[in-house]
Structure 1
């Protein structure tokens, strides 16, 4: 929904008898995020009979002013008068995109999808969520993925978008070298999208010292990236997780090496 100001607000003003409202949308604005003050001024004071209000709103600002950035604390302060729900907020700025993002929602979170999670993710438990996407212009460390798995224990579809190399990349010689890292188990994962990532994140999911993937996983990945990460499909540390993959989607690749076919013996590839 990119017409919050011109369509949604006027529509709600015509619903003065509304008692329950669930409002879920994304919107793009020129100058300001959707925050608590915005919801009170534009919606709540026009709905005097409203008793239940739940929402999940992500607003974006393009070409934000570097000298006048709102913090997460600033956004939280706009919800001081909201007593019926626990309100969660998360504010991020992306210099490369020249875009600001503010995600506000009432908790507990009941949707099945949680999009564009960044390093500022406030954690929590989201048992209903099955689809998650991660995006940031700062690197995701292994500890971040631990937090994601704990917050979304029933995740089925995961998309990662991040082109920045990990800062604390492990240099494994044996499994004993990684005893300080927690192995992450994605027990319900069925689809993993790693087409717009630095090689470090492909390694993050394929190394058996970092991640335990489930069987019959569908992986979306660039051929040359996975070729580098698996050392031309001969790397021992990535063989276990690769053996669990049921299908690999590799764009614009029509000829596969013998080493690739031997590495993914039970896998369909497209």
Structure 2
């Protein structure tokens, strides 16, 4: 790219690139100053910062995996021209201390830093004190720090309970910036802490539980729900208020809201208002209890006016729609163009009649991904 100054490889629209095996001159530039790119792993980021892009001032990168796949030696020199860096990865990593901190230590001239990462199997949670001592103190020019850091750690002493306030107080050195936190305990095994700058700037949020703070996440369009405890109707009412612009929703929960025999009679009384998702186009309930499939597709409980993609198990779909005859779930399915099920499935005419915009099997992806 001899004369290019700006290049944007969308971090969502295209497959990730793998660069670290390429010779330096295959991907290099003496004029490129801004780069937005989606890469396979952290070694690709190291390659981009090994000197082949000498004039780079802004780098925004989404990384599929943060793991040390190779023992290749990389340039560890300071990066004096880089003043804006953004790192996003939606897969958990164990290499935060080994790879991410060492990479950021090279960026002492940064003015803007964005981190959106997930960390697991670490001995302690990520706190403001840690970020100050290990990263921010090495960036004296930094004036903007946008972050969402999810860290998971084992519970060593169940008697010690760390609260949201405890975590938020460790960020007292971040002047003129709000910080919010969500801490969840999964006794006896682990705890998860999600800490982020506020207002929230990212369009995607992972592993959200029943513990939703009283905050409106206007930027979030893609959400993943995951919890060991069931989600009840009241939770989904709060969800639409907290995430008013959701376009893609995924639910991973095998617990029905009313699982005991004494509670089952409450199932139809759990809701008193219809929950509306005015912008939702994609729903994934393939790893959810059948209750949630019914909750979302039943128009007397949930309104999905723009749903076009549905990922679900075929057995659950048959049960909830009563073999594709049930009127209460027909309207929610009528706009679906892409039906993603575990297959292969030979669809009957009843399926095509129930999903009139799903014309043939070529539109379906038949493997859960």
TM-score for the superposition, normalised by structure 1: 0.87
* Match of residue 195, structure 1, among 259, 266, 286: 286
Aligned to 1:240: 331
Residue 40 in structure 1 maps to residue 132 in structure 2: yes
Residue 29 in structure 1 maps to residue 121 in structure 2: yes
Q: Secondary structure at the match of 2:343?
A: coil
Aligned to 1:12: 104
Aligned mates of 2:126, 2:239 — CA distance in 1: 25
* Match of residue 57, structure 1, among 149, 168, 177: 149
CA 14–62 in structure 1, closer or farther in 2 if over 3 Å, else same? same
Aligned runs of 1:105-254 on 2, under 5 Å? 105-167=196-258, 172=268, 181-215=272-306, 217-254=308-345
Q: Secondary structure at the match of 2:328?
A: coil
CA 199–13 in structure 1, closer or farther in 2 if over 3 Å, else same? same
Question: Which shifted more, 24-33 or 57-66?
Answer: 57-66
Determine if contact 2:129/2:171 at 8 Å carries over to the other structure. yes
- Cα deviation 1:19-61 (Å, max 9, x = unaligned): 3222221122331110112112212222233222221111112
Aligned residue-pair number = 264
- Cα deviation 1:220-246 (Å, max 9, x = unaligned): 000001111222222222122122322
Moved over 4 A (4+): 62-65, 168-172
Aligned to 2:177: 85
Shift of 1:69: 4.2
Aligned mates of 1:134, 1:9 — CA distance in 2: 29
The unaligned stretches of length 5 or more in structure 2 are 1-65, 67-92, 365-369
RMSD: 2.4
TM-score for the superposition, normalised by structure 2: 0.65
Shift of 1:213: 1.0
Determine if contact 1:215/1:246 at 8 Å carries over to the other structure. no
Question: Which shifted more, 121-130 or 222-231?
Answer: 121-130
Residue 260 in structure 1 maps to residue 351 in structure 2: yes
